[in-house]
Each structure stands twice: as C-alpha cells, then as structure tokens.
A and B are shown apart, each in its own frame.
Chain A
Amino acid sequence: DSGVTQTPKHLITATGQRVTLRCSPRSGDLSVYWYQQSLDQGLQFLIQYYNGEERAKGNILERFSAQQFPDLHSELNLSSLELGDSALYFCASSVGSSLRDEQFFGPGTRLTVL
C-alpha cells in the first residue's frame, strides 16, 4: 500500500459525458501528479500540482482539467469524453516538487467510455 488513494476504482460512462477522478496523496506529500496509461500511448504524464499550484503540464488535452485543493487532495476532470479516453488514470504523490523525489503511485482508476 503506497498510501495514495484514488476513487473510484472503476468508472463506466458514455461518450460526451463528464467525470471526476479523485486522488488523496500520502500524508505530508505536497506534489500530486496525474498519468494516463493506455495500450496505445503507454504511460503518459498529464499534469503536476505542487502545494495547490500547477507546476508542470504534459500531454493533457484541453478537455481535461485538474486542481489541487487546500487539503492537498486533487481532482482530474475529464469532459466531452471520447472512446479513446478509455484508460487507466494514475495519481502519484511526492514530498517535494523535484523529479528526484520518489513518486508514490495510487492503484489507479480504470475509465471505460462506451
């Protein structure tokens, strides 16, 4: 158990819909990272927040957005969903903002878009 929690574990929805994925980092960790894992694209970095502020952006679509709240939990919002958005979405947390800091991954949310 990494100490990072993600809800829900599974999500099934239809094209065009909007969903919210939630992540609670390990106690004391200030950074939250979001990743997408799919068979086509592999594991891709989406976005990082550090202590409530956006720190870095990767291959995140404009239809996707995220935020980190004062209690440090984070939410990833996916809208206008397409079939190709079906994937595993991981959240990871680390104590600092540097990539040298170990990232602890949650168990993921499996999103299926029908």
Chain B
Amino acid sequence: AQSVTQLGSHVSVSEGALVLLRCNYSSSVPPYLFWYVQYPNQGLQLLLKYTTGATLVKGINGFEAEFKKSETSFHLTKPSAHMSDAAEYFCAVAGAGSYQLTFGKGTKLSVIP
C-alpha cells in the first residue's frame, strides 16, 4: 500500500521568500515520487520526479526536491517565490512495480506581493 501526506492545505509566502511545501509518503517498496502543479482551471503539469539515482531532483521553474529515504519525505523547495508560482501543488507516489499514482490532498500556495 502507498499513501501521501501533504502538510498544510494552504501555504502563504511573500514574494521573494523561500517556498517549502512538505510531502511525506509511505510505500512498502522503493518509490517513484512526483510533484505536480495545477493552475486554476487547468490540468496538472509535472514539476519534477524522482525514480532512481540522485536524490536531489531539479525541476522546472526553479523548483527542486530532495528524496530522503530515512525521513520518507520529498519536500518541494524554491529559493525565491514569484507571483506566478501561486497555484495548487500535488505530491504523488507510486511504488516501484505499481500501476497506480497515489496523490496527496494538495497544497494551495499563495504569494503575497
């Protein structure tokens, strides 16, 4: 079984501040981990993914995430928030060999000018 917990359904940051969105997962097998972004009235877009190899993953729009097996975490960060980052962010997990992505409940990011 696999599950995802995203801490904080809503996060607000000031423009230029650090963005940190938290994701913890459970998986009985080595996981594939993903972050997606959803802008209003649009579908999801992949930001970054971890499958194997380097645990620090860089994605689009300046985002990155680090896979920490000991902490079962895959937190998303960006050094400096832009107004255009305001959106909902979803963490997802799939156990290696699984056929199903399991999504977290999402975190809505607001950026304050």
**Which residues does B use to contact A, with CB under 8 Å?**
32, 36, 41-46, 49, 51, 90, 94, 98-106
Contacts and interface: CB of A to CB of B under 8 A. Distances in A.
Nearest to B94: A99
B98 A99 contact: yes
A107 B32 contact: no
A66 to B, nearest CB: 15
Interface stretch (A12-20, A40-48, A75-83): A40-48
Given A42-B106, A99-B94, A102-B49, A90 B99 contact: no
Contact of A105 (B43, B51, B98, B104): B43
A100 interface: yes
Contacts of A42: 103-106
Given A42-B105, A42-B106, A43-B106, A99 B43 contact: no
Given A42-B104, A99-B32, A108-B43, 15 more contacts: A2-B43, A2-B45, A4-B43, A43-B106, A44-B103, A45-B100, A45-B101, A55-B99, A99-B99, A100-B32, A103-B46, A105-B36, A105-B44, A107-B41, A107-B42
Query: Which of A56, A99, A107, A108 has the largest number of chain B CB atoms within 10 A?
Result: A99
Contacts of A103: 46, 101
Query: Which of B36, B41, B44, B105 has the largest number of chain A CB atoms within 10 A?
Result: B44
A84 interface: no
A25 interface: no
B49 A90 contact: no
